[in-house]
Chains A and B, each alone.
Chain A
Amino acid sequence: MNVLNFIRKKFFSSPIDAFLTLSIGYLIYLTIPPLINWTLIDATFSGNTKKDCVAGGACWVFVKMWFNRFLYGLYPNEEIWRINLAFSILIISIVVYRFLNPKFKRYLFIFLVLPFPILSLMIFSGGFLGLAPVDTREWGGLFLTLVISIFAIIFCFPLGILLAMGRRSNLPVIKYFSIGFIEFWRGVPLITVLFMAGVMFPLLLPSGTNLDKLVRVIIAITLFEAAYMAEVIRGGLQAVGRGQYDASKAIGMGYWKSHIFIVLPQALKLVIPGIANTFIALFKDTPLVFVVGLLEILGMVNLAKTNPYWLGMATEGYVFVAFVYWIFCFAMSRYSLSIEEKLKTTN
């Protein structure tokens, strides 16, 4: 009787509730079994060609055979270890980071933010120490997604801090320049910014200079994201109590010293969730680089599905990419939520 009572209270407490329960139940009945059939039961996992997929379900052979291309783009197969090496170092450092004492933590952090990205870029492009040079045109897949989003977020960070401080400045030129800059980039869609990087930017440079396409894209995305980052950081600066400014002034600190050592550390800690959300948005926007002809993971799937041997595999490819995006974004949003909760309790 208890179970029945529980069900009645939870699922059938009012006519509307009962209607909801029944219709959602019917919806689940309609969608879930065919979905499971397609993805797992009728799906084909083994084989090498499209012809092996006869069961009528999903053809995961497609994803299996193109896996390296989806992950690394057209990067030469024998050079893939370089990418794996750099990302392994990154992941190991992040894991080790948690267990270090604060002094080493600081060194590791500085290493990760400054020399490491430059070093890994050098490893990726090669051309020294006997590493074969790899043109950025061959970069692609999930690797390119991560390169673009990580570099853009690192570069836009200092710019965002300066713009946020500029917007709160009482020097009119700096203040209105910051406002104009932020509002301009926030008002235009990323795709037009990429068009600018693709077709307009080369016209603005001296003829003959051939700035790499990837570099142009990263510059454009950095400027675009810096505006969003500035607004996030401005929120943090406003949230730091007035007393902190006054107290640092009272003990004789100037503008820069009080900002660098007192205000910014507190403000940045407050906006970690906001920064994480900006990063998620940036990560989700990277497929747009297709407009200048760069192929990140979604672009690679679009390329693969037009391959004459693999026609009709669009759904499998999209489901795979959706899965990858979902894992990354969901993990990051959970992480930012957990920090938000922690901040709530400590304050």
Chain B
Amino acid sequence: MSFLQNKIEKIDQYLSDHPKVKFILPQALLLVFIFSIIGYFSFNASSNLSARGIDTGFGFLKNKASFDIQFSMIEFDSSMSYARAYLVGLLNTILVSAIGILFATLLGFFFGILRLSSNPLASGLATVYIETLRNISLLLQIFFWYFTVLRLLPSAENSIVLFDFVYANIKGIYIPKFVWTNLNYFLYGLIFTFICIYFFNKYANNLRERTGKQLPKFSISLGLLILIPFLIINIFGVGLEFSYPKLDIQMGIANYIGGVSIIPELIALAFALSLYTSTFIAENVRAGILGIDKGQKEAAASIGLTNTQVLRLIVIPQALRIIIPPTTNQYLNLTKNSSLAAAIAYPDIVLVFAGTALMQTGRAIEIVTITMLTYLSLSICISMFMNWYNNKVTLTER
């Protein structure tokens, strides 16, 4: 040990005697290392690829994909390009992540608060839920929902019917499809409404600060939100009809046509992702609420606020500040974990692009790079949004 100590001491001594070496040497070494690795890899890659007769570049994105995708939010068939297939995969990834984030947040808050309940039955249930699901591999949970639970659903002939228009069977869940006429007018109208509400609120705040006069902000905003779309629907003739799923039997095989079909892969994935992530969010929520000083609640109670008011006006706004940063991390994790979709063949970006497209074109380097960069950009987008939100709720101290 003393030998080692002496060596380290000598290195330190030398470095402090030569500040220039201390500054330049490690950085130069690192740069040489990085560039030699990059050079080595690219040399090997180019010789390997030319040996196999594969050309490089991103031109293949325009080629015909010639494969089908089972589920897509935009039109896609095998005559379209790889770039289009990439877009389909990306949209599917975003769809399942968005659903997952929504339900994980709701469940997380519910179980986080339930775990703090004074009722031992309720807190016990929340503890069992959290400790069970967070300690089991996510991939296993996806398999469990997909291969075990969803396989219990009946065949198409004996579908479970909910409210007369939702059909659930082993091939998925079928819901009515919205068929709009003049939808674009309606959407423009909605955007216009939100702009109106935004400026109205700004005006009302301004008025209050100048004169102290309170306008009924909430009711007027709500009124605008109902009135303007109502006018637009009547003036431009926006219509909404439903196309209901119908049972269709061809050559003895039953199927539902019309409506929107939600494939079982999406359901299993969304279920597993939201349950798994909700356990982590629940722990964040619990830590956030426990992190509020008891004096805050007592002070609020002593000035006469009711229990709900204490929770709504004092505890939650402060707890949010503790909860948001770690929850952002969970949102990022959920988005990244949605890539496990490939295991049950939900056509997300990994399956469509890094799976099928890579298999067909053999362009491993380009495709893996694009996929990784896509996830990086998604991560950056989410963390930017959450940082913006976090800045909004943090205490502005004067």
Contact = CB atoms under 8 A, between A and B. Distances in A.
Interface string A136-177: 000000000000000000000000000000000001111001
B134 to A, nearest CB: 8
B137 A189 contact: no
B365 interface: yes
A335 interface: no
Nearest to B149: A315
Contact of A322 (B16, B26, B27, B136): B136
Contacts of B379: 186-188
Interface string B82-106: 0000000000000000000000000
Contacts, number: 162
Contacts of B139: 287-288, 290, 298
Contact of B8 (A24, A199, A260, A330): A260
Given A188-B375, A288-B340, A325-B137, A318 B121 contact: no
B381 to A, nearest CB: 11
A207 interface: yes
B121 A322 contact: no
Nearest to A253: B12
Interface in A243-267: 253-257, 260-261
A285 B337 CA distance: 10
Nearest to B27: A173
B50 to A, nearest CB: 10
B393 interface: no
Contacts of B27: 171-174
B12 A195 contact: no
B148 interface: yes
A269 B339 CA distance: 34
B122 A187 contact: no
Contacts of B371: 192, 195
Contacts of B368: 192, 195-196, 199-200
B9 A254 contact: yes
A20 interface: yes
A238 to B, nearest CB: 15
Nearest to B144: A318
A232 to B, nearest CB: 13
A154 to B, nearest CB: 20
Contacts of A298: 137, 139-140, 143
Interface in B355-398: 358, 364-365, 368, 371-372, 375-376, 379-380
A302 interface: yes
A21 interface: yes
B41 interface: yes
Nearest to B47: A207
A203 B354 contact: no
B45 A173 contact: no
A330 B368 CA distance: 35
B15 interface: yes
Contact of B44 (A172, A205, A321): A205
Given A17-B118, A203-B49, A314-B147, 8 more contacts: A20-B121, A21-B119, A25-B121, A174-B27, A254-B13, A290-B343, A321-B140, A322-B136
